[in-house]
Amino acid sequence: MKKLYTTFLMVLCTGILALAQVPADIPQLLEGKKIAIDPGHGGEDSDDRRIDLGNGYIYWEAAGTWKVGNLTNDLLQALGATTKMTRDTNDPNSPDRDPGLSERVAVANAFGADYMHSIHTNAANAKANYTLLLYRGEGDYVAYNEAKYMGGILAKKFHETWFTTDYYNRADKDFLPYHLGVLGGTNMPATLSEGAFHDVPAEGRRMMNDGYSKAAAWAIAKSFMEYFDVGTLPYGEVGGIIRNQNNDPINGVTVTLNAGLADEKVVQTDDIDNGIFFFDWLTPGEYTLTFEKEGVTTITETVTVTEGNYSREIYKTFDENAPINPPSAPTVHYVISPTGGSSLEVKWAAVQHPSLLGYRVYYATDDELSDWKLAADEQTIDATQTSVSIVDESEFKEVPADGAYHFKVVAVVDAGKGETLEGASADIYSRSSGAASEEKVLIVDGFNRQASYQESTHSFATQYFNAIRDSKDANVSTTHNSLVEKGQIDLNDYTTVFWFLGDESTADQTFSTSEQAKVKAFLQAGGNLLVSGSEVGWDLFEKGTESDQEFYTNYLKANFVDDGSIDYTPAKGVDETIFGGLTVEFGKTYTEDYPDAISSNGGANILQYASPGKFAGVAYSGIFDSNKDTASVVYIAFPLETAVQAEHTALTDVIMDYFQTKQEVIVSAIEEKLIALQSLKVYPNPVSDYASVAFTLKEGAEVTLSVYDLKGQRVQQKVQRLSTGEHTIALSTTDLRKGVYVLQLKVGEQEAMQTRFIK
């Protein structure tokens, strides 16, 4: 797949250069200037930001910056500048595809550049789309005032060229918690541009267009002309977007500039749902633009080109028969049971679509998520609403025969002629139905990254829900981590929190500063916390700040050892703990390449990897920061959702027992309170389908053998009259759920006990 995509990119780049009808005798305005161009990232690795834009469109930041960097390089050379690219290839198989930050700086320094500019695009979970320019500085300190000046020029030019909502020029450490490496150590002024947000789907698809990339190159070239104060070219550009009556971009529109005249130029909008067209090297004056497509009304517009400027417009052409594009998937914020029982409250982010009618909430009663039925539709959830509350499942549009657990939200639009059209659903969330327990559990979905797991949506919260539901009677809800961060969901409303992070890492943050503060308060108040994720240690400790490291060691009770490998699977419970006998083979639902290896900091190591001496999990019960309430933490250093459900549930069962009883993780030495009894042995260890209990009686007596779970409830009992001597009682355990049990042998008032894990 990488090879096919790379070939496609090479064709695009060739097409751009073919479109550039460069006039002869271009004024050499930048002659004598030496400029280094740094296309950010390189290749197609996880750090190069692979973004799924929907409908099969994939954007790689490394590919986008490579294309814009080459076009900028060509323009600057055409204007007389001497240039240097900091990397020579974007071939995913080349070892030179992604030089280190210091290597890029070294190239610019060795070249003796007058200026270096690093080209990037931005990402923030599709919530914003502004232009950002960064220069090295913090507070009153600015490394190069010239860079701050150039940043202001670049920010404005990018904003005038690309369809961003705003623009900013900032010192790097005023905007970020650190200085940018590529701006450090340069012998010349340097800036870094985040031109727009590639994870805004419409913007990402525009970035894949040849003309849009060429427009960005022009913005950079014009900025250098203004920075060096060399005047403007006697040319301008024209471009924009073609959209239909639904405000959606149109593919395959032929755009002709000055049709039938000697200076006629023709381009066609591509098939990537962006509607972009672009013309450059135009002498000032009036031009006509003709937009044509079979079955679409042809329209003609007039546009004025002025020297040194870009005329950018959005044009609409109308096609009554054009199909309605489906709406995007709503981002679900939470699914909860606000008043217990089968009450339901669902909240999501608004979807933008010109024909939006409203939303539909579906539920599934089966854990395979195949049998979806309507809880509510657009008749009660119109386009202005982003939440729904239902008192009881009897009020669902389609009333379930049994409890409804799993939920998804879709937007629905008017498709004309009395028809409606649904969009796709985003992440699937779950909540309890009919739970009578006062035990309130919150599942926090903090997994927003696309790396090992490549899909844009997931249903992993349902796997955590199923494991909790099948382990204990609890009232379970699910939320996205952003609601916790904003304070809209309070962790302290819950007794237990399961926070899963997949392979969320440094680019997306595992725990933000705000989230860390909320987790600390939760543990200080005596809460129970499970954290699961493969990059938590890498992010917080190896790459984190001092406060990140303090949170990791003092609240997750872990030490980071190293960034592991796929060979670490399976993880097994440490024998001398209550987790002994468990096996969890991770990497099954999706591959996990780099599970963290960790060790306990004040608690106990509970899971160990297949690699000798490498631990996968830690547990701790105790107080935090001198508070009186005892809290518990279990931290699993791989994505638990990558295991099969049965193994996930078995581990969750022991974790929930641990949380409810807060017993010691390390099983104490066997207590032999034998007075009438000479010995007591229970085997095998751990117990599987049966337990053999062997003992010796000093004298004949009535013997009672009882089995208790960790809540103190008796689950089995045998009473027998036995004579003096050695005896063995066989005890079937096939009907017992996996977990830790206490076996008690009692003769009169005298007793002996042992603890065993039954799997």
Tokens, residue 630: 């005892």
Residue 100 CA from chain centroid, whole number: 25
Every domain range in the chain assigned CATH 3.40.630.40: 2-233
Taking residues 235-246, what's their average pLDDT? 91
Taking all residues of the chain, what is their mean pLDDT, rounded to a whole number?
Answer: 87
What does residue 572 show for φ and ψ, rounded to 5 degrees? Answer: -125, 145
Share of the chain above pLDDT 70, in %: 89
Distance CA 714, CA 537 (A): 41
Distance CA 52, CA 60 (A): 9
* 435-661 placed in CATH 3.90.79.10: no
For residue 410, what are the contacts with CB-CB under 8 A and spacing of at least 6? 327, 329, 330, 359, 360, 362, 422, 423, 424, 425
The most confident of the ranges 478-492, 493-507, 684-698 is 478-492
Q: Which residue has the higher pLDDT, 438 or 369?
A: 369
Tokens, residue 708: 């208790």
Taking residues 300-321, what's their average pLDDT? 85
pTM of the model: 0.53
Q: Lowest-confidence range among 189-198, 232-241, 581-590, 720-729?
A: 720-729
pLDDT in tens, 561-608: 998 888 999 999 998 788 988 999 999 988 888 899 999 988 889 999
Taking residues 626-650, what's their average pLDDT? 91
Look up residue 492 and give its DSSP letter.
Answer: G
Fold of 2-233: Aminopeptidase (3.40.630)
| CATH superfamily for domain 240-323 | Carboxypeptidase-like, regulatory domain (2.60.40.1120)
Taking residues 384-405, what's their average pLDDT? 93
Give first-to-last CA distance, the chain, whole Å: 43
Every domain range in the chain assigned CATH 3.40.50.880: 435-661
In 3D, which of 517, 509, 518 has the Cα closest to residue 177? Answer: 509
What DSSP string runs through 555-614? TS-EEEEEE--GGGPPEEE-TTBTTTT-EE--SSSS--S-PEEEEESSSEEEEE-SSTT-
**Cα torsion at 379, 380, 384, 388 (round to 10°)?**
-150
Confidence of residue 452 (pLDDT cuts 50, 70, 90): confident
553 pLDDT more than 50: yes
| CATH superfamily for domain 325-423 | Immunoglobulins (2.60.40.10)
- Residue range 677-758 forms a domain whose CATH class is mainly beta
Q: Is the peptide bond before 570 cis (omega within 30 degrees of 0)?
A: yes
Taking residues 521-537, what's their average pLDDT? 95
DSSP lists the bridge partners of residue 305 as 285
Tokens, residue 411: 């937007």
Every domain range in the chain assigned CATH 2.60.40.3080: 677-758
Taking residues 113-126, what's their average pLDDT? 90
> Treating both helix axes as pointing N-terminal to C-terminal, what angle do 210-227 and 2-19 enclose, rounded to 10 degrees?
60
3-state secondary structure of 394: helix
